């Protein structure tokens, strides 16, 4: 069977607070529509300089733990050279070095091959930009 590639862009509203936004169901829906039982790779990409993607457990406090760890690692204070927007915004531009703007995940027979507690999430610490884009791409 020849390789196929398909892609879709999602608009995500993250609001005015730091957030871990679960994309797992949107990824599964995309694969139901496009993979149609085939195996391949799902690439998830966010074209922003101040957001990233992660695969973590959600709903049991891990999302809050991740945000707290980022506060410890990347404090929102005036130490950053990149200065505009909200106080400490420079750290938002460093975030993608720690939480990359992409993830490539296995798809087996049309479904994400995630572990039991794993979810695909958008990590957004930039309170100045509540509108995000995420691109889902499937390669069979």
Residue 1 pLDDT grade (very low, low, confident, very high; cuts 50, 70, 90): low
Q: How many domains does the chain have?
A: 1
Please give the model's pTM, rounded to 2 decimal places.
Answer: 0.94
What is the CATH classification number for the domain harbouring 112? Answer: 2.60.120.460
Residues 6+ apart with CB under 8 A from 90: 79, 80, 81, 82, 83
Asked whether 39 and 112 are in contact (CB, 8 A), the reply is no
- Domain range holding 92? 5-139
pLDDT tens figures, 38-80: 999 999 999 999 999 999 999 899 999 999 999 999 999 989 9
């Amino acid at each position: 069977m020849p390789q196929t590639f398909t892609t879709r862009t999602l608009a995500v509203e993250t609001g005015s607070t730091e957030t871990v936004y679960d994309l797992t169901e949107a990824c599964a829906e995309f694969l139901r529509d496009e993979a149609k039982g085939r195996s391949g790779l799902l690439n998830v990409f966010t074209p922003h300089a101040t957001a990233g993607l992660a695969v973590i457990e959600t709903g049991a406090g891990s999302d809050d733990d991740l945000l707290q760890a980022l506060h410890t690692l990347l404090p929102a204070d005036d130490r950053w050279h990149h200065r505009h927007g909200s106080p400490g915004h420079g750290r938002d531009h460093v975030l993608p070095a720690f939480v990359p703007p992409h993830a490539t995940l296995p798809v087996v027979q049309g479904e994400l091959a995630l572990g039991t507690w794993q979810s695909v999430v958008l990590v957004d610490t930039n309170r100045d930009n509540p509108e995000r884009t995420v691109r889902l791409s499937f390669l069979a």
